[in-house]
A and B are shown apart, each in its own frame.
Chain A
Amino acid sequence: MQNDPALFREASLHVLQDASLHRFLKSGTQHFSDARLSAITKIPEWEQLRQRSHEIRKHTLEHLDEYLAELESRITSRGGHVHWAPNANSACEYICQVASRNAVQVAVKSKSTVTEEIGLRQQLADRGVEVVETDMGEFVVQLAGEAPFHILAPAMHKNRHQVAELFSRKLGVAASADISELNQIARGVLRDKFATAGMGITGVNFAVAETGTIVILENEGNARLCTSLPSVHVAVMGIEKVVPRLTDLEILLRMLPRAATGQKISSYISFLSGPASSDEQGGPKEFHLVLVDNGRTRILADEHTRSTLYCIRCGACANVCPVYSNVGGHAYGGAYSGPIGAILVPQLLGLERAPDLPFASSLCGACSDVCPVKIPIPEVLLHLRRQINSSAEIHGPQKKRIATKRLLMRLWAAVMKNERLYGLAGIAFGRFIRCFVRHGSIRTAPGPLKEWTRTRDFPVPPKKPFRALWKEVQ
C-alpha cells in the first residue's frame, strides 16, 4: 500500500502477483460493469442523455464563477456558511476551526473522495478530533489503516475472513465470517458514534446553484445519519460539482446511479438546503459548505483538459479499464484511480509527481465509451503524454524510456512498411523467442519483453509461420 503516484510501476505488481486478490478485483469490476450495462440497456434514450449531461457539465464550467456565486448566496441566505478554499490546507484549517469552536471530540464521516484528496482526517486527528468513517467499506479500510481500493467499493480487496479477523483484532469482538453478522457488528459500533458525534462530515454529489441545495446519494443511510444527528454538518466539495438548476440535476440523477451500480436510483437521496429550521426536531443547527479548488482552476484553464472536471464520480471507467481491473486502486497512489485518476491526479499534483499515470493505458477507449458525461479520456491522456514527453522536468529513467520507445516505434514502422522485412522479421523473431521455451511455455524473455513476462507468459510461436503455411496451401 502506498500513496505516491510516482511509484505506480512497482505498486502495480502487487495485485498482479497476488492471485486471489487479482480474482477479487476482476470479479468485482465485472460485476459493476454488468450491472451498469443491464441498467442502461433498459433506457433507449441513454445516448441522448449522455450528450445532454455532457452539455450541462460543459456549460456549467464555462460559467463556473457565476454558478458558485449563486450557490453561495442561496446558502448564506438560509443561514448556512460557505468557505472558499484555494488549497487543501485552507479547507482543512477552516474545518478544524469549526470543530474547535464547537468543542468536537468525535466526527462521523460519510464517503468523500475529496476529503481523502485534502488529507482532512489526518489534520483533524492531529488536533485531537476522532474521525470515524461510517460507510461500511470505508469503515473497514479505516480499521485496517489502508486507503480505499475502489471508489464504489472501498473494501473490495478484503474477503469476509479478513474482515472478521480485522473486527476481532481491532474491535475486541468475537466475529465470525458471516457477512450479515459482520454488517451488524459495524452497525452497532457506528450507532454509538453517530449518537455522540459533535460533527458530521460529508461529501457532495451535486450542488444546485438555483436553490442552494447540496445533494447526496447513498444506499446505506450513513450520510443521512451524519447529516441528521450531529448538530454541525460540514459538506466538502470540489468547485466543479455545481449544477445550474434543479431540472439539470434531474438529468444527472438519471445517469449517476445507473453508471455506478446499475440502479435506477440509489436507496436514499438527500437534498439539503442549509441548516435545519428552528421548528424541526433534530437536524444540524450549523451548516458549512467548503468549496475546494486545490488545482482545479489550473485544469479549468486548459481547454484541452478542462473536460477532466466534467466527472461525476460514477466509477464506470475504472470498471471497464483493462489496466485498473488488473492492478487495482492502490497502485495509483492518489485519491483517484482508474482512467479518471490517470488524468486527474497528474493535473492536481503536477505532471512531474505522477509521470507514469497518463501512460498507464492502452488507449483502448473503453472508458470514454462508458463515461456518462462523455469525457474524451484517451484524448486527454495523449495530451498529457505530449506534455510530459516535452517537459524539461522529467527524470532520467523516463527520458531513457522515451528515447527507447521512439527508436522501437521507428524500427516497427520500417518493418511494417516493407513486406519482405516483415516476413524476415517474423521468422527471425520466432526462432529467437523459441530459445526461451521451458517446459512448453515462455515464462521469461529478455530485453523489452522482460517487463511483459514478469506477470504473464509469452505465447509460443509455431515452428512454421502462417505465411509459410499459406504458401504451401497455394
Chain B
Amino acid sequence: MATAQSNRATVIDAIRSALNGSHRNGLPDNVTPVSAPSTEFLIRQFIDNATAVGSQVAVATTPAAAVQLVRQWLDEAHTTECIYVPTPLMEKLGLCRAAFPEFKPLPNWDQDAARSLLLNAAIGLNESTAGISSTGTLVEISGSDKSRLVSLLPRIHVSILPVEHIYADLFAWLNRSYVAAGEWLRSSMTLITGPSRSADIEQTLTKGVHGPIRVCVLLVDF
C-alpha cells in the first residue's frame, strides 16, 4: 500500500492539476446582522419554537419553582434513577441529591457495571450551555466531567437553561461563542432540537427512536 505521504501528494496534485488555469475568486463574508432582541422576546420565541418541535418548556422564576417543576417531571416518569451532571447553578437552585434521592452521578462509561446504569436510566438531567430561540434548540458543549451520553441514552432529557444564555439564531451564537474564542471549541458541540424522530417506515413519524422520546426544558428566569 502507498504511504500516507504519497497518498496525500496524489490527491493534492490531482486537485491542483484539475484547477490549473481556473480563475480563483474570493468569497464574500456572511453579512447576516447579529440579532439581539430583548430577553422577553427571546424567551417567548424559544418557548414557541421548542414547543412546536415537541419539547416541553417551563419557566421558573424562583428556586422553589425550579425544584417543584423538576419534581413534577420526575414524578411523571415514575423513575428511581436520574443521571445528573451537577453545576453551580443547579446547586444554587437546590437541584441536588439532598432534595432528589433519585439523582445518580454520571458513571464512568469505561466501567462495565456503570454501562448498565447509563443504558437503563429513565432520565438524564444536565445544564445546557446555551439556547437558540429561532428554532427552540439546546446547545451542549463537551467538557470535563460532562458526557455526551446524558442527553442521549435515557428516554427523557431534562435540560436547565438560564434565559440570559438564549441567543436569537445560530449565527448570533456562533458569532458570540467563536468570536469570544476558545471555550466552545471542545471536541464536541451538539445542537438538540426536540425529541429523537424517524419517519423511515411508511413516512410515519415516530419519536424516541434512538435518542430521547421526551425533552423537558427548564428556563431559569431570575
- Rounded to whole angstroms, the CA-CA distance of A247 and B29 in the bound complex is 8
Q: Are A86 and B210 in contact (CB under 8 A)?
A: no
Q: A28-B203, A282-B109 are in contact. Are A298 and B18 (CB under 8 A)?
A: yes
Q: Say which one of B39-47, B89-97, B141-149 lies at the interface with A.
A: B141-149
Chain B hits for A179, CB < 8 A: 201-202, 204, 206
- Rounded to whole angstroms, the CA-CA distance of A291 and B191 in the bound complex is 25
Chain A hits for B194, CB < 8 A: 267
Q: Are B149 and A275 in contact (CB under 8 A)?
A: no
Asked if A250 CB lies within 8 Å of chain B CBs, one says: yes
Chain A hits for B16, CB < 8 A: 65
Asked if A136 CB lies within 8 Å of chain B CBs, one says: yes
Q: Are A190 and B190 in contact (CB under 8 A)?
A: no
Q: Are A280 and B142 in contact (CB under 8 A)?
A: yes
Q: Say which one of A54-62, A332-340, A374-382, A421-429 lies at the interface with B.
A: A54-62
Size category of the binding interface on chain B: 35 or more
Q: A300-B18, A301-B18 are in contact. Are A293 and B11 (CB under 8 A)?
A: yes
Q: Are B15 and A239 in contact (CB under 8 A)?
A: yes
Q: A182-B201, A267-B194, A276-B188 are in contact. Are A239 and B209 (CB under 8 A)?
A: no
Q: Are B11 and A84 in contact (CB under 8 A)?
A: yes
Asked if B137 CB lies within 8 Å of chain A CBs, one says: yes
- Rounded to whole angstroms, the CA-CA distance of A27 and B8 in the bound complex is 45
Asked if B58 CB lies within 8 Å of chain A CBs, one says: no
Size category of the binding interface on chain A: 35 or more
- Rounded to whole angstroms, the CA-CA distance of A84 and B13 in the bound complex is 12
Asked if A78 CB lies within 8 Å of chain B CBs, one says: yes
Q: How far is the CB of A333 from chain B (nearest CB, A)?
A: 23
Nearest chain-A residue to B171 (Cβ)? A250
- Rounded to whole angstroms, the CA-CA distance of A440 and B134 in the bound complex is 58
Asked if A204 CB lies within 8 Å of chain B CBs, one says: no
- Rounded to whole angstroms, the CA-CA distance of A31 and B199 in the bound complex is 11
Q: A64-B19, A267-B196 are in contact. Are A281 and B188 (CB under 8 A)?
A: no
Asked if B36 CB lies within 8 Å of chain A CBs, one says: no
Q: What string of 1s and 0s marks CB contacts (under 8 Å) between B131-156 and chain A?
A: 00011010000111111110010000
Nearest chain-B residue to A231 (Cβ)? B110
Nearest chain-B residue to A89 (Cβ)? B1
Nearest chain-A residue to B108 (Cβ)? A281
- Rounded to whole angstroms, the CA-CA distance of A220 and B195 in the bound complex is 9
Q: Are A62 and B25 in contact (CB under 8 A)?
A: yes
Q: Are A62 and B23 in contact (CB under 8 A)?
A: yes
Asked if A180 CB lies within 8 Å of chain B CBs, one says: yes
Residues of B that sit less than 8 Å from A by CB: 1-2, 4, 7-8, 10-12, 14-19, 22-30, 32, 49, 53, 106, 108-109, 115, 119, 134-135, 137, 142-149, 152, 170-171, 174-175, 178, 185-204, 206, 208-212
Residues of A that sit less than 8 Å from B by CB: 27-28, 31, 52, 55-56, 58-60, 62-65, 68-69, 78, 83-86, 90, 93, 134-137, 140, 153-156, 158-160, 163, 179-180, 182-183, 186-187, 190-191, 195, 211, 213, 219-222, 224-225, 227-229, 239, 244-248, 250-251, 253, 264-277, 279-283, 291, 293, 297-298, 300-301, 303
* CB-defined A-B contacts under 8 Å, sample of 27: A60-B27, A62-B24, A63-B24, A68-B15, A69-B12, A83-B7, A84-B4, A84-B10, A86-B7, A90-B1, A136-B198, A159-B202, A195-B119, A211-B178, A213-B185, A221-B209, A239-B11, A239-B15, A264-B49, A265-B135, A270-B188, A271-B191, A272-B188, A273-B188, A280-B186, A281-B106, A282-B149
The 8 A-B residue pairs whose C-beta atoms are closest, nearest first, are: A221-B211, A137-B200, A301-B18, A221-B210, A279-B144, A297-B14, A247-B30, A281-B147
